Structure 1
Amino acid sequence: MSIRLENVGIAVRDIEATIAFFTDLGLTVVGRDTVSGEWADTAVGLDGNHAKIAMLQTPDGHGRLELFEYLHPDAIETEPTLPHEIGMHRVAFAVDDIDASLEIAARHGCYPLRGVASYQDVYRLSYVRGPSGIIVMLAQELQPS
């Protein structure tokens, strides 16, 4: 049996703002749709769901995010997750220039939780609080192989 990661799905408050954030960081929108109906109710396990969705892909084609904004039922607001909470933790991206990536994030009102750290002179990395409270890790390899 083979397995591969298809995508990571994230419910968001504002799909347009979230698309703008991730596309500015370098992802590409590869599809958009509005979904509802019996098939969606069955797949998601939520009766009467209706959502806008967008699929974004990293430039190398290996990583995908599926963003969805619920039109019905109303989305349930929750507190943004903390780094030590159980459950979905973060989405991580390797970047060529962390400083440039952080400048892009800041233009969207998204800032590091604390700052930029150096991990054993191998990576510079930072956790950023992104749109809808999503934790986004940005990591720059210091000595690319």
Structure 2
Amino acid sequence: MDIKLENVGIAVRDLEAAIAFFTDLGLTVLGRDTVSGSWTDTAVGLDGNHANIAMLQTPDGLGRLELFEYLHPDAIETEPTQPNEIGMHRVAFSVPDLDAALEIAARHGCHPLRGVATYEDIYRLTYVRGPSGIIVMLAQDLRQSD
């Protein structure tokens, strides 16, 4: 079977804040919509499903995030995911300049969970807590020097 990853969906409490964060990092908004009706009830498995959504794309055109903010049923607040929890873990991005990406993240109140690490002189990387508690990994490939 020939499959491809279509997108990663992330429920957020504030769609505008999440869009601002990810577009500042370099993603672009492909489209926005409000979805509801029997087709969404069936596809998602929630009666009365009603959400504002935005589809974002990475600059290389290969990665997509679908962000959604539930209008109905009410969103369920949970504790932020911890790095060692089972289930959806994080979204990761390669960035050309980790320090610049961290400056952007900081403007949104998002900071490394602990600090910046270097993996075998190959990557500088860190996890930041993004909008709605999303863990976002930012990694700079040190072999790609300009």
TM-score (norm 2): 0.98
Could you report, residue by residue, the CA deviation over 1:5-61 in whole angstroms, capped at 9, with x for unpaired residues?
Answer: 000000000000000000000000001000000000000000001000000000000
1:90 alignment partner AA:
R
Match of 2:41 in 1: 41
Could you report, residue by residue, the CA deviation over 1:91-132 in whole angstroms, capped at 9, with x for unpaired residues?
Answer: 000000000000000000001000100000000000000000
1:52 alignment partner AA:
N
Match of 1:92 in 2: 92
How far apart in 1 are the matches of 2:127 and 2:85? 14
Match of 2:50 in 1: 50
Match of 1:16 in 2: 16
Match of 2:124 in 1: 124
SS at match of 1:9: strand
Match of 2:73 in 1: 73
Does residue 104 (structure 1) correspond to residue 99 (structure 2)? The answer is no
TM-score (norm 1): 0.99
How far apart in 1 are the matches of 2:104 and 2:86? 29
Question: Which runs of 5 or more residues in structure 1 are unaligned?
Answer: none
Does residue 30 (structure 1) correspond to residue 2 (structure 2)? The answer is no
Question: Which runs of 5 or more residues in structure 2 are unaligned?
Answer: none
Quote the offset at 1:144 in angstroms.
1.8
How far apart in 1 are the matches of 2:43 and 2:72? 15
**Between the two proteins, what is the percent identity of the paired residues?**
84
How far apart in 2 are the matches of 1:144 and 1:99? 15
1:57 alignment partner AA:
Q
SS at match of 1:6: coil
SS at match of 1:42: helix
How far apart in 1 are the matches of 2:72 and 2:111? 30
How far apart in 2 are the matches of 1:58 and 1:138? 13
How far apart in 1 are the matches of 2:85 and 2:46? 25
Residues paired across the two proteins, number: 145
